[in-house]
Structure 1
Amino acid sequence: MYKIWLFPFLLLFFHYSVNAQADWTLKRTNDGINIYTKTVSSSGLKGIKVKCSLPAKLSQMVALIMDVDAGEDWVYGTKSSTLIKKVSPSELYYYSEVDIPWPLSNRDFIAHLIVSQDPRTKVVTINGPTEANYLPVKKNIVRVNHSNGKWILTPTKNNAIQIEYTLEVDPGGTIPVWLVNLFATSGPTETFKKMKAQIQKSQYVNANLSFIDND
C-alpha cells in the first residue's frame, strides 16, 4: 500500500494550487482533523487540504515543522529525513526518503522550507517547494520532480492556532493514480494525529524563535 505524508514533506508532497474554496470536497473528519480533496489534473490526481486547530503557540508549531531531522517520528511513511543546509533560522533545505512497499520503488525529495510572518495579522506561512536537482539522484529511488506544500498558521484565542495545509504531488514513476488517491486521506490523518502528540514535547513547547511573534 502506498504511503504519503503531510509535511512537507510529508508524506510525499503535493503541489499547491490556488483554487476556489468551492472546489474542495470534505472527505474525512477524524479527531478534529478535516481532510478535503479535489482533482487537480486531467490524469485524475487529487490535491488535498487538511484543516485543524491545536492548543499551541505559533513558535511551537514552527519549531516542530523546521525540526526536519525528527520527521521520522511523526510524518507518515517517512523512512529518513535529514537537514542538508540551514540558510537562516527561517530557511532551510532537507532531504527525505518516503517508504513505498515492494515491489514499488521508494521516492525521495529535497525540500526548501521558507517561513514568513505577516507583521499585522501574525499569520505564519511556510512554503515548501522541492528542489529536484539539489542532490544527485540515488540508485533504485525515484526522485519527486514536481511538488510543493504550504502551511498557513493562524493564531486564534486562548493560545491556539488554526492550521491549514495544502498540497498535491506528481510522485513520478509507475505508481497507479488510484493508489495515490486511495491513501491521500489515510496519510494525512495519521500524520496529524502524531503531530498533536509530537508538538507537546518540551523542545517545541519551550521554543523561542526570534523571527516569530506570538503576541
Structure 2
Amino acid sequence: MRLLLCSLLLVCLTSAAESAAWQLYKAVGETRVEYRHNADKLLQVKAQTEVSATPASFLHLLEDTAHITKWAANTEKAQLLGQPDANTHLVHTYFSAIWPVSKRDMVTQSVWQQDAASGVLTMVVTDMGKHFPEVQGYVRMQQVQAKWTLTPLPNGRMKIEYHGQADPSGKLPHFIVDKVALKSLLKTFSQLQKTLPDYQRPYPGLVDAFLPAK
C-alpha cells in the first residue's frame, strides 16, 4: 500500500507541470540543473550528476544528519525524528537565511526502494510539516515533494537524478526564491561529488553488486 501511494504521488508530481518546458540553469562538468514553473508559478527543479560512489553511500550520507552542512547547501542542522521501518526516515531540516529573509524549516518523510536486478534505488520525499508544530523563528515550508533516482554505473560510478519542488512560504518575491533555490541545488550537487566517496560502505538490506572490490 505504501508503494502504491508513493507511485500515485509521483504521477501527480509529474503531470502537474507537463505543459511547461524545462530550461537550463547551469551545467558545470557532469552536473546539470534545470527548472520550470507549474500552473501556480511554483518552481520545480531537476538536477543530475555522476559520482564515484554507490547507492549505499547515499543512504549512509542521509542518515548522518549531524553532518548535513557538509553537503546540503544553506542548511543549519537536521534531526532524525523517527524511522518507522528500514526503508523510511522522518527528518526535520532547518535552513539558514540572510537578513531580511527569515529562516526556513521542513519536516519530510523519505521512503526508498531498490530494484534488485539493476541495483537502481529510488527515494520519494513527501511533506509532513502539517503533522508537527511550527518552530519559533522559522517559517515552515510547504508542498515539499521530491524524487531521487540513483543508478549504478560501471567501475564504481553512479548517476544521481533529482526532481523536486517546495513552497518556501512567507512573502518572498519569486525571482529571489528561484535564484536562491537554483544556486543552492547546484552547490549541493557539487558537494555531493566531494562527500559521497567518504561514505562508501555496504548498507544493510541493499543489493550493492557494483561496490568496488577492496
Query: 2:121 — aligned with what?
Result: 124
Partners in 1 of 2:64 and 2:153 — Cα distance?
23
Query: 1:211 — aligned with what?
Result: 205
Greater RCO, CA 8 A, separation 6+: 1
SS in structure 1 opposite 2:76? strand
Does structure 2 retain, via aligned residues, the 8 Å contact 1:90–1:211? no
Deviation at 1:38, TM superposition (A): 1.0
Deviations 1:29-76 (A, max 9, x none): 01311011111133x332110011111122112221233332122110
Q: In structure 2, do the counterparts of structure 1 residues 70 and 41 end up closer, same or farther at CA, with 3 Å as the change threshold?
A: farther
Unmatched segments (≥5 aa) in structure 1: 1-15
Query: 2:32 — aligned with what?
Result: 34
Alignment coverage as a number of residue pairs: 196
Partners in 1 of 2:100 and 2:20 — Cα distance?
38
* Bigger share in helix: 2
SS in structure 1 opposite 2:144? strand
Q: Percent same amino acid at aligned positions?
A: 21
Partners in 2 of 1:104 and 1:184 — Cα distance?
13
Partners in 1 of 2:54 and 2:204 — Cα distance?
14
Deviation at 1:86, TM superposition (A): 2.0
Amino acid in structure 2 at the alignment position of 1:105? S
Query: 1:7 — aligned with what?
Result: none
Matches within 5 A, 1:128-207: 128-201=125-198, 204-206=199-201
Amino acid in structure 2 at the alignment position of 1:119? A
Question: RMSD of the alignment, in Å?
Answer: 1.9
Partners in 1 of 2:20 and 2:97 — Cα distance?
33
Deviations 1:75-110 (A, max 9, x none): 101011111112233211111111121122211111
- The answer to whether the aligner puts 1:57 opposite 2:64 as a matched pair is no
Unmatched segments (≥5 aa) in structure 2: 1-11, 210-214
Q: In structure 2, do the counterparts of structure 1 residues 27 and 21 end up closer, same or farther at CA, with 3 Å as the change threshold?
A: farther
Partners in 1 of 2:20 and 2:127 — Cα distance?
27
SS in structure 1 opposite 2:62? helix
Query: 2:6 — aligned with what?
Result: none
> Alignment partner for residue 18 of structure 1, among 9, 14, 29?
14
TM-score if structure 1 supplies the norm length?
A: 0.84
SS in structure 1 opposite 2:134? coil
Partners in 2 of 1:185 and 1:71 — Cα distance?
18
Query: 1:9 — aligned with what?
Result: none
TM-score if structure 2 supplies the norm length?
A: 0.84
> Alignment partner for residue 67 of structure 1, among 64, 69, 89?
64
Query: 1:6 — aligned with what?
Result: none
